[in-house]
């Protein structure tokens, strides 16, 4: 762990709770693994694992899986490095195309890959928004049906996309180029 990350966690954590550096969710500290480069607390990352398990276990929940991953990744951008720069662009472009252009979620698989493969060298770090949006993984976990789950994932994705308003124009350019 680099000194910078240690400092970050000194500021945001107490003994009993941890605050997620991405979505700012405060949770009782349990520890556990964290993602290699997404900026998520171990506790938030574990809840995302629960959400993914729910989607993998039921095809009707899985229908919005791509959007779930895009929303989570864009809400947990992490720190500036090559793979986070690429990740932010891939997931924000997918959110842009899904939410503003109704591109089918299945078609976004190819778009994400195209951005990662062909645009990587042109991408620059987009400084993350101070406000991560009003919804997070715990809100989506409240769903008691696939229909509610889909609606909550869409609302979550929209709130994350809107949080990145300052970079919408830059993302739209990449998204459009990847679609052409
Ligand atoms: Zn989080």
pLDDT confidence band for 2 (50 / 70 / 90): very low
Say what percent of the chain tops pLDDT 90.
78
Does the pLDDT value for residue 157 go beyond 90? Answer: yes
Report the 10 Å Cβ neighbour count for 110: 11
Which is more confidently placed, 175 or 8? 175
Structure confidence by residue, pLDDT tens digits, 22-67 = 999 999 999 899 999 999 999 999 999 999 999 999 999 999 999 9
Domain that holds residue 166: 3-179
Q: Report which of 44, 52, 4 is spatially closest to residue 22, judged by C-alpha positions.
A: 44
Query: pTM (2 decimals)?
Result: 0.90
Ion ligand 1 contact residues with beta carbon within 5 A: 20, 22-23, 25, 40, 44
Q: Report the separation in Å between the CA atom of 17 and the middle of ligand 1, taken as the mean of its atom positions.
A: 13
Distances (CA, A) of 103 to 30, 68, 96, 180: 39, 15, 9, 13
Distance CA 12, CA 156 (A): 23
User: 151 C-alpha vs ligand 1 centroid, how far in Å?
Assistant: 20
Q: How far is the CA of 12 from the centre of ligand 1 (A)?
A: 13
Q: Once rounded to an integer, what is the mean pLDDT over residues 154-164? A: 98
Judged against a pLDDT cut of 50, whether residue 3 lies above it is answered with no
Q: How many domains does the chain divide into?
A: 1
Better-predicted residue by pLDDT, 19 or 117: 19
Reference 137, options 156, 155, 154; nearest CA is: 156
CA torsion 170-139-79-2 (nearest 10°) is 180
For residues 109 and 66, the answer to whether their CB atoms sit within 8 Å is yes
Band the pLDDT of 1: cuts 50, 70, 90: very low
Distance, in Å, from the CA atom of 4 to the CA atom of 94, rounded to the nearest integer, reads: 30
Mean pLDDT of the chain: 91
């Amino acid at each position: 762990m680099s000194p910078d990350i240690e400092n970050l966690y000194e500021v945001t954590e107490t003994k009993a709770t941890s605050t997620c550096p991405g979505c700012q969710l405060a949770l009782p500290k349990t520890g556990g693994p964290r993602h290699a480069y997404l900026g998520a607390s171990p506790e938030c990352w574990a809840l995302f694992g629960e959400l993914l398990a729910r989607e993998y276990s039921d095809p009707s929940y899985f229908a919005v899986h791509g959007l779930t991953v895009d929303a989570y990744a864009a809400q947990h951008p992490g720190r500036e490095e090559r793979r986070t720069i690429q990740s932010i662009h891939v997931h924000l472009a997918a959110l842009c195309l899904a939410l503003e252009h109704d591109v089918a979620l299945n078609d976004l698989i190819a778009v994400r890959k195209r951005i990662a493969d062909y645009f990587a060298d042109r991408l620059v770090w987009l400084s993350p928004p101070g406000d991560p949006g009003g919804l997070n993984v715990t809100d989506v976990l409240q769903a008691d049906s696939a229909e509610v789950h889909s609606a909550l994932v869409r609302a979550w994705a929209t709130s994350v996309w809107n949080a990145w308003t300052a970079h919408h124009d830059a993302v739209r350019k990449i998204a459009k180029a990847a679609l052409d």
